[in-house]
Homo-oligomer: A and B are copies of this chain.
């Protein structure tokens, strides 16, 4: 239903926890405790994040994980791509072959929308995610600039 998987949700929690102490080496067990997530799930996530080179893994005794880059150089889009694959709202956003492609006038539009969503996710860094921001409780603690993020210029399309 147009939502991220739970693993991705947990992944951001995990990455946020790591961002609180970027230098410190933490193993999967510690992180499971501090995030209140199930240990096997944490281990699985860390492996995926390591493969995407978002976290650095040190094997062996006293090993563990730490962020591979500074928190402000990791975006939510990075985490989402790492755990769900490339951001593609529709099949034809990336590769073709949806069956009705030749008659499909909406394909290129979806690509634009896709880019807009991705840039929205790229705009939020791990640093921002780890800021408190929940001090206000249930209320609207942040101000969202409601400007229209997409700008269609069909007249310039090979004009």
Contacts and interface: CB of A to CB of B under 8 A. Distances in A.
A36 B104 CA distance: 9
**Number of copies of this kind of chain in the complex:** 2
Interface residues of A, number: 73
A106 B12 CA distance: 8
B156 A91 contact: no
Interface string A1-27: 111111011001100100000000000
Interface in A47-103: 76, 80, 84-85, 87-93, 98-100, 103
- Chain A binding surface SS class: loop
A142 B153 contact: yes
B6 A100 contact: no
Given A131-B154, A142-B154, 5 more contacts: A13-B104, A109-B129, A112-B144, A123-B149, A143-B151
